Structure 1
Amino acid sequence: MQPNPIVPPRTVARRALLALVAIMSFLACLSVAAVSIVSERAYDWRNQIAEEVTIQVKPASDGDTDALVARAVDVALQVPGIRSAVPISEADAAKLLEPWLGRDFDRSELPVPRLIAVRIAPGADIAALSRRLHEEVPNASLDDHSLWMKRLSSMANVMMMLGLAILLLVMVATALCVVFATRGAMAGSRDVIEVLHFIGAEDSYVAREYQRHFLVLGLKGAGIGGALAAGSFLATGLVARFQGSTPEEAQLRTLFGSLIVGPPGYLGALATVLVTAGIIAVTARWTVTRTLKELEHSSG
């Protein structure tokens, strides 16, 4: 394709704008990926908590906690809508506490309750289960995870709003940079634009040429940024798979999973690339049209 005579071809400003668009697109794709990860995890949290509650059985004063656990299981299975009630072994309970207490803690020194994982069907009478446990197993209590879910949902919503706000700011900053770049390009081609006006070229023709030029630039820059972001997603996934486990990493996995970007994140990054290029093209056309009208008014 031959260089456009209206828009200055391969200039330093054009290369700088291309690099800037790539950086902005990279940041935007990272924001979209973060929102995607948090959204997927929040969806998983809601589904898991909607299907499961937990019975906590405090240690018995006489030491016969196993009997209390067995009684709590029997009571749970008698309530309509309860699919299963499975006691969590002490080894599995220790693994659940490991991210916070480490591997070498002595459970005998702490009054750690025994846990029973209860799977429920939609519409199960949780209130009846809680009431029967209170009446028949005084050491048992029911946790429906509602408080935990409320906190997690609030945190997820805040993080998603923050990610979307960052994405919006990146897009606005990109548009502002394009405005200044377009005005600079027009200033460099002022003589050409005046000649075109003299021979009868319409403003729409000039605007269309600038729009085409900046659309190509936007696709290149945003594509580079999107490709770098996709490479970062893949690298993060590989590191997450092969890196050793520490208590801090286990806590992160408990909340956010493996931090691997799924298909929605990649599709969101692709959409971000296309939207960024579109915003650049539309902004360039709007800037050219507005600038030409200002020139006409000033010359008139």
Structure 2
Amino acid sequence: MAKPARVRDPLGLRRAVSGWLLPALVAAMALLAAIALGGAEAAEALARRWEGGAAAAMLVQLQPGLDPVPAAEQVATLPGVAEAIAMDRERLSALLHPWLGDASGLPLPPMIEVRLTHVREADIVAQGIAEMLPGAQVEQHGVWVARLSALARSLQAMAWMTLALVGGLATAILAVATRAGIAARRDTITILHELGATDGTIARHFAKRVAWLAACGASIGVAEALPLLFALGRMASPLLGDGLEMPWLALLALIPAAALIAWFTALSAVRMWLKRLP
């Protein structure tokens, strides 16, 4: 006697839960989530670069006629100074070019570029320079760096808020899709329920279908986001130095995260609907 074929879709969910609309919606959500993750990573990199780089640097303008080379050697002996470099005219002209254009013919003051061992040493080093080189003017970057770092942290917080909002919208979309599937197969579900199918069995069938579609959609969305993130990284390379480091683990985690959200959302929605059956 022939063995009866196994029914893989007893609820007809392939017709009830769209195989293209739901993945398309989840792909759009995953795309937005991936961009939010990239934005959060970029803001974090900017904050680290400003806090660890520009904040630990200062410029020292010397009195006219003073040789910056021996002055830099003196400054380098101060506690908290990692490096002190006498700036030549070419370096000064390059720094002033965005504001003054060609400054090679201007009378430029002698300058020293100082790198600190830590940003906390800035005030101590500035005081030591003032005592060592009377009349020298020290320009610290700390105030501007603090403001820029605060801006970067705010952008990072906005990126995480956007990610949370996308997660909420995705959950709502999955819940609506599940309820639409329930409505489309209401009679079939009711008959199976009356024949003895448990709430857990019916809910798991829905959850598997929705989770699979969500995982497929998330994979598409992450794949679509990669070229955008690479392009944004190249655009931000002047600010980030080496460019944007891709948050690969976080991006890959979006796919199982979407599947888990879909699973629990569909499971909860179906169980709540089944509880209202007589």
Deviations 1:241-290 (A, max 9, x none): xxxxxxxx7xx6443346x4324x22221112221221122111111111
Instruction: Give the root-mean-square deviation of aligned CA atoms.
Output: 2.9
Ranges in structure 2 where 5+ consecutive residues have no aligned partner: 1-5
Does structure 1 residue 45 correspond to structure 2 residue 50? yes
Does structure 1 residue 21 correspond to structure 2 residue 26? yes
Q: Give the superposition deviation at 1:122.
A: 5.2
Return closer, same or farther for 1:75/1:233 CA change in 2, 3 Å cut-off: same
Structure 1 contact 42–153 (Cα < 8 Å) conserved: yes
Structure 2 contact 59–139 (Cα < 8 Å) conserved: yes
Residue in 2 that maps onto 1:92: 91
Between the aligned partners of 1:223 and 1:18, the Cα distance in structure 2 is: 9
Return closer, same or farther for 1:115/1:13 CA change in 2, 3 Å cut-off: farther
Task: Give 2:99's aligned amino acid.
Answer: L
Deviations 1:225-255 (A, max 9, x none): 0111123334555xx3xxxxxxxx7xx6443
Structure 1 contact 85–119 (Cα < 8 Å) conserved: yes
Return closer, same or farther for 1:262/1:207 CA change in 2, 3 Å cut-off: same
Residue in 1 that maps onto 2:35: 30
Residue in 2 that maps onto 1:77: 76
Residue in 2 that maps onto 1:232: 228
Does structure 1 residue 266 correspond to structure 2 residue 248? yes
Q: Give the superposition deviation at 1:223.
A: 0.4
Structure 1 contact 59–112 (Cα < 8 Å) conserved: no
Between the aligned partners of 2:40 and 2:121, the Cα distance in structure 1 is: 35
Does structure 1 residue 256 correspond to structure 2 residue 240? yes
- Structure-2-length-normalised TM-score: 0.85
Deviations 1:85-139 (A, max 9, x none): 11222322333344x427x343656x86544222333598544432233234333
Between the aligned partners of 1:2 and 1:86, the Cα distance in structure 2 is: 77
Deviations 1:30-52 (A, max 9, x none): 110111122123223322246x3
Between the aligned partners of 1:254 and 1:138, the Cα distance in structure 2 is: 36
Question: How many residue pairs get matched?
Answer: 273
Q: 1:54 aligns with which of 58, 74, 81?
A: 58
- Structure-1-length-normalised TM-score: 0.79
SS of the residue corresponding to residue 22 of structure 1 reads: helix
Residue in 2 that maps onto 1:4: 9
Return closer, same or farther for 1:82/1:218 CA change in 2, 3 Å cut-off: same
Residue in 1 that maps onto 2:3: none
SS of the residue corresponding to residue 59 of structure 2 reads: strand
Question: What is the aligned-residue identity percentage?
Answer: 26
SS of the residue corresponding to residue 283 of structure 1 reads: helix
Ranges in structure 1 where 5+ consecutive residues have no aligned partner: 241-248
Q: 1:145 aligns with which of 141, 146, 156?
A: 141
Return closer, same or farther for 1:179/1:198 CA change in 2, 3 Å cut-off: same
Structure 1 contact 72–140 (Cα < 8 Å) conserved: no
